[in-house]
Structure formats: structure tokens, C-alpha cells
């Protein structure tokens, strides 16, 4: 994770970043679900936190130099979670 990506997460999703930043590595290593985002060319690692009923998404992209990096992290909106289930975007890990 580069500095610019961490700043993006902190600025765009401050509450989510504060709550789940220490779990980013764990979300990538042991996600509940995986998904692909063809439009943004990323792999989405999603962890379901049953205690808070949160689905936390970490999007990982590959650079032109073939380096994987965590681009963003946020709690998915309920509507997005429903859409992912409805259209079978989630792959159980």
C-alpha cells in the first residue's frame, strides 16, 4: 500500500478507514468473498463482519509494472451488497 492509496482511503472513507484500517491485511489474506470489477480492473476482497453487519471491501489493482496494490477500502452500502448477491458477483472464499 502506497502513501497515496492510504491517503485516498483516509480522505474518501474516513470513518471506514478509522474503523477497519488495522484489518486491511487480514481482509486480503482471509476474505469472506471475492469479486471482480471488470470496469476498474480490480479484484475485490470482501470481509463480512457479522457483529456490525458490515461488508468491508478492499480493491486490489495491478500496475503496469505488474505490482499489486490496495487501491481503496470501504464499507459497502447495503444496496451494493444486495446487488452483488442478486447477480452472483460474490465468490465464497
pLDDT at 93: 79
CB 59 within 8 A of CB 44: yes
Tell me the CA distances in angstroms from 46 to 9, 40, 58, 65, 76, one per residue in order: 15, 16, 6, 25, 9
Helices (H), ranges, 1-93: 3-12, 14-20, 24-29, 78-86
Show me where the domains of the chain are located: 3-92
- From first to last of the 93 residues of the chain, give the pLDDT tens digit: 778 888 888 999 999 999 999 999 999 999 999 999 888 888 999 999 988 899 999 999 888 888 888 889 999 999 999 999 999 999 887
Amino acid at each position: 500500500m502506497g502513501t497515496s492509496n492510504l491517503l485516498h482511503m483516509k480522505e474518501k472513507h474516513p470513518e471506514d478507514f478509522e474503523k477497519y484500517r488495522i484489518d486491511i491485511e487480514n481482509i486480503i489474506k482471509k476474505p469472506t468473498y471475492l469479486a471482480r470489477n471488470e470496469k476498474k480492473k480490480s479484484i475485490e476482497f470482501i470481509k463480512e463482519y457479522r457483529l456490525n453487519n458490515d461488508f468491508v471491501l478492499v480493491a486490489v489493482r495491478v500496475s503496469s509494472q505488474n505490482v499489486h496494490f490496495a487501491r481503496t477500502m470501504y464499507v459497502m452500502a447495503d444496496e451494493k451488497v444486495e446487488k452483488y448477491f442478486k447477480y452472483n458477483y460474490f465468490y465464497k472464499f
